[in-house]
Amino acid sequence: MNSDIQIAGDPLAIPHLLPPAPAHPSTVSAFAGLARSLAADRAGWAPLVQYDATSRWYHRLRTGPGYEVWLLSWVPGQGSGAHDHGASSGVLTVLEGELTERVGHGERHSLRAGAQRVFAPGYVHDVVNDALEPAVSLHIYFPGLTDMPMHPSQDAVRERAEGRVPDAPDTLDVLGG
């Protein structure tokens, strides 16, 4: 009895019949998958991690066509401040520890190891290590990160709206005019 391969030939031996393999991830789902696969390769990132009590530590782990991957560490109390990522979309994956993401008007997301957040250009958030242990995260930006504008924290915006924090004086007041 003949097998299908004997009758039709091996389809893998006919490359023009196969869909082309993507050169790099091209969908949000594929970037999230890349983040999961990098996270699973602990031997590839864990030896690189350093902790700095004076500022967040970061290391560019990889670049590819149209994207870059960053490894960040967070000691307790360290945070990013409210920011967006300019024209970049991204995937944040917690590798170790726990981080808190603050978005919108007081909304908080507790992110433990394995948790992922996906964001589009213009997404404003603040990430902080509120825990008592250090944390490590992996960030993929596509296209690569070229701008990270800072924003007032949502707490400051809320306090200003409630009249608890005075607005900064305008130029005429400062100059006495």
Per-residue pLDDT tens over the stretch 27-82 = 999 999 999 999 999 999 999 999 999 999 999 999 999 999 999 999 999 999 99
Higher pLDDT residue, 93 or 153? 93
What is the per-residue pLDDT for 146? 93
What is the per-residue pLDDT for 104? 83
Tokens found for residue 103? 């978005």
Q: Is 83 marked as binding a ligand?
A: yes
CATH number for region 26-165: 2.60.120.10
Q: Is 24 marked as binding a ligand?
A: no
Higher pLDDT residue, 105 or 86? 86
Instruction: Write the CA distances from 134 to 4, 14, 70, 110, 120, integer angstroms.
Output: 56, 51, 17, 15, 27
Q: Is 105 marked as binding a ligand?
A: no
Higher pLDDT residue, 162 or 88? 88
The pLDDT tens digits for 137-154 are: 999 999 999 999 999 876
